[in-house]
Amino acid sequence: MDFGPFLLLALMEGLVTAAVLALTASGLSLVFGIMRVVNVAHGAFFMLGAVLAWFVSEWVPGPPALSFAVALVICPLIVGGIAALADTVVLKRLNYEPEATIVATIGLLYILEQAALSFFGPDARPVPAPLNFRIQLPWFGYSGYKLAVVVGAALVLLAVWLILKHTRAGLVMRATQIDRDTARAFGINVDRVYAGVFAMGAGLAAIAAVLIVPIQQAHYLMGGDPLLLSFIVVIIGGLGSLRGTLVAALLIGLSDGVISTFFAPTLAKIIATLVVALVLVFRPQGLFGKRMA
Amino acid sequence: MTADRALWLHLGVLAALLAAHFIAPAYHHTNIARIMVLAIYAMGYNIAFGYTGLLSLGHALLFGAGLYGAGLLVYHAGAGAPAALVAGVLAGGAMACAVGLLALRTAGVAFMIVTLMFAQAGYLTILYFGSYTRGDEGIVIPRAARMLGGLDLSDDGTRYLVALLLFAVALLVNLALVRSPFGRIMVAMRENEERSRMLGFNPFTVKLAALTVSGLYAGLSGAAYGLLFGYVGASLASVQYSILPLLYVLLGGAGTVLGPFLGALLMFYLIDYASAVTDAHQFVTGAALVLLILFAPKGILGTLRARAIRWLP
């Protein structure tokens, strides 16, 4: 294959990565933006979504498209429920004190991974794709489902943006983000907003996982990479800003696709982690948004 | 008088560990040797986290620096164990100092993420240079290279006594450090950085020095681990090994000299006994972290000190 088509393939693969990454990272960004919580268990919520999608595909009879549709609804709800529970039982009692919440979410990460290992097992398991067609380009054929993933992720992100900007729930969330004491004074139940936001963040990770699992297979340790990449995206994009997250996800996803295709994936990850560390050291407003800089 | 009480307590713990050498069954004998080496690591972590208030999520990088600093020197250059041990300690300290120069420009959550990222980059670098480090598979250090003076470190009895000697030095230095004026300044940084600055102490240099000492400890522990147990592998530099000392210190009591050892001892046996009942040992780790941070953020000795034994260092 010539360089041109090869680059196109790398970019298309990168676009799929970017779309899923944007979904996962927007969940992390939402949680940090509104609650100021760094959720280390975010990757575990992602993994949980994929693992649950496998269970749904086993239990729901009929064509793969049906079980996929069921998974797309049920998995985020279950994962969101677990997240809301974790928020009420653990994080709320810590008063969202930053260092304590990080330690607690590390504990949560271990618990969730162990649960997946115990009930799902150590093997990677495939989930059938809901649609099966190939788009034939002049140089190579490309999976139609991968393009559907990109469209699906874009639709979900659009929905999140609409919810945040144009619904009462979104207004309440933004009010809590700007000043939680004033929000409380105006009769907003901040505890419920926090539980909801934490659930929504985890739910977004679960949706991303359900979308990607027909391409990637479900495995109990699959949450590590999405977590690391989401951190990178969220830090480079600036937290709390959905637009920044989106731009950074595109940037990281596409360059990850290109670098991993032409160079070693491990090298790409080393460079990315070092870049993030240096961004944090020299441009901390990348992490803390504009207001606190 | 108070000072003597604390010193006698620590000497008593060391004496008990020496007695355990003669009476502990073989299985526990090996376990305790391992726990003492890991406790050195946790003590180093405690100097940064417990006393100075630097919550790092990347200490595996420092442990790994000691481990590989010693291991690669033995494996590729054929160095002897004493040189490797010194190299490991220095590698840990130098790595901590280098990371500190950058990471200490941040604080709080950003510091945690920066250290996490550096450790992750270090771990990936070990994998990337797999032809030298043999990556996940790891390096087995041959018995011939594990001689310290005339002592064979692969022998169970010698190993225990060497581990105890290193542990004793680390513990007493730690005790002296936290009672020294510098130890007070470290605590002052943890309690109120702004006020300490007003009193004329430079937070950056104090924290950098504390982190470097912490790195020397982690490097010593890593090097000793490689030489005493004969294995150097990438999994020992993974993120789990950054969480482990945090867990030990939280359980035993942050900011207490004996806390890291107590935490390592209890956690090691908790996982050991849990493994006999279930293979879900990750669950034990996770649950312990959540429960500790929720109900006993001061740990065992920290709670005891707050309630009863005020003089505990």
Is B192 domain-assigned? Answer: yes
Is B67 domain-assigned? Answer: yes
- Is A235 in contact with A279 (CB distance < 8 Å)? yes
Q: Do A264 and B112 touch (CB under 8 A)?
A: no
Residue B55: its chain A contacts at CB < 8 A? 99, 102
Residue with tokens 């495939």: A126
Q: Which residue of A has its CA nearest to B281?
A: A114
Residue A106: its chain B contacts at CB < 8 A? 243, 286, 289
- Band the pLDDT of A77: cuts 50, 70, 90: very high
A284 vs B110, B282, B286: nearest CB: B110
Burial readout A168-181 (b: 16 or more C-beta within 10 A, e: otherwise): eeeebbebbbeebe
- Ranking B29-43, B134-148, B233-247 by mean pLDDT, the lowest is B134-148
Residues of B with a Cβ under 8 Å from any A Cβ are 55, 57, 102-103, 105-106, 108-110, 112-114, 117-118, 120-121, 124-125, 127-128, 243, 246, 250, 280, 282-283, 285-290, 293-294, 297
Residue with tokens 């949680």: A31
Q: How many residues does chain B have?
A: 313
Condensed to tens digits (0 to 9), the pLDDT of residues B62-99 reads: 999 999 988 888 888 877 788 888 999 999 999 999 99
Q: Which fold has domain A3-124+132-288?
A: ABC transporter involved in vitamin B12 uptake, BtuC (1.10.3470)
Q: Do A270 and B110 touch (CB under 8 A)?
A: no
Structure tokens at A157: 């992100």
Is B193 domain-assigned? Answer: yes
The percent of residues above 90 in pLDDT, for chain B, comes to 23
* B139 DSSP β-pair partners: B232
A118 vs B55, B280, B294: nearest CB: B280
The percent of residues above 70 in pLDDT, for chain B, comes to 98
Q: Taking residues B134-138, report their average pLDDT.
A: 77
Quote the pLDDT of residue B307.
Answer: 78
Amino acid letter for position B116 = L
Residue B61 sits in a domain whose CATH number is: 1.10.3470
Q: Do B109 and A287 touch (CB under 8 A)?
A: yes
Q: Do A102 and B103 touch (CB under 8 A)?
A: no
Q: Do B118 and A277 touch (CB under 8 A)?
A: yes
CA dist B95 and B233 (Å) reads: 18
- Closest-CA distance of chain B to residue A203, Å: 22
Q: Shortest CA distance to B248 belongs to which of A39, A94, A103? A: A103
Is B312 domain-assigned? Answer: no
Quote the pLDDT of residue B231.
Answer: 84
Residue A102: its chain B contacts at CB < 8 A? 55, 57, 109, 112
- Is A43 in contact with A217 (CB distance < 8 Å)? no
Is B151 domain-assigned? Answer: yes
- Band the pLDDT of A1: cuts 50, 70, 90: low
Q: Do B289 and A110 touch (CB under 8 A)?
A: yes
pLDDT of B1 strictly over 60: no
Residue A280: its chain B contacts at CB < 8 A? 106, 110, 113-114, 117
Q: Taking residues B178-199, report their average pLDDT.
A: 86
Condensed to tens digits (0 to 9), the pLDDT of residues B213-236 reads: 999 999 999 999 988 888 888 888
- Band the pLDDT of A99: cuts 50, 70, 90: confident
- Give me the DSSP letters along A226-250: HHHHHHHHHHHH-TT-HHHHHHHHH
Element spanning A142, H or E: strand A141-143
Q: Taking residues B176-189, report their average pLDDT.
A: 87
- Pairing state of beta strands B147-148 and B151-152? antiparallel
Q: Taking residues A173-187, report their average pLDDT.
A: 86
Condensed to tens digits (0 to 9), the pLDDT of residues A183-210 reads: 888 888 888 889 999 999 999 999 999 9
Is B124 domain-assigned? Answer: yes
A281 vs B55, B102, B246: nearest CB: B102
- Whole-model pTM: value is 0.82
pLDDT of A237 strictly over 70: yes
Is B313 domain-assigned? Answer: no
Quote the pLDDT of residue A291.
Answer: 43
Burial readout B168-205 (b: 16 or more C-beta within 10 A, e: otherwise): bebbeebbebbeeeebebbbbbbeebeebeeeebebee
A107 vs B110, B127, B289: nearest CB: B289
Quote the pLDDT of residue A292.
Answer: 40
The percent of residues above 90 in pLDDT, for chain A, comes to 23
Q: Do A118 and B108 touch (CB under 8 A)?
A: no
Q: Taking residues A17-40, report their average pLDDT.
A: 89
Structure tokens at A228: 């690391």
Quote the pLDDT of residue B3.
Answer: 58
- Band the pLDDT of A284: cuts 50, 70, 90: low
**Total count of domains within chain B:** 1
Quote the pLDDT of residue A239.
Answer: 63
B293 vs A104, A112, A273: nearest CB: A104
CA dist B47 and B176 (Å) reads: 12
- Closest-CA distance of chain B to residue A107, Å: 4
- Give me the DSSP letters along B92-152: HHHHHHHHHHHHTTS-HHHHHHHHHHHHHHHHHHHHHTHHHH-TTT-EEPPGGG-EETTEE
Quote the pLDDT of residue A288.
Answer: 45
DSSP state at residue B47: I
Domain boundaries, chain A: 3-124+132-288
Q: Do A117 and B288 touch (CB under 8 A)?
A: no
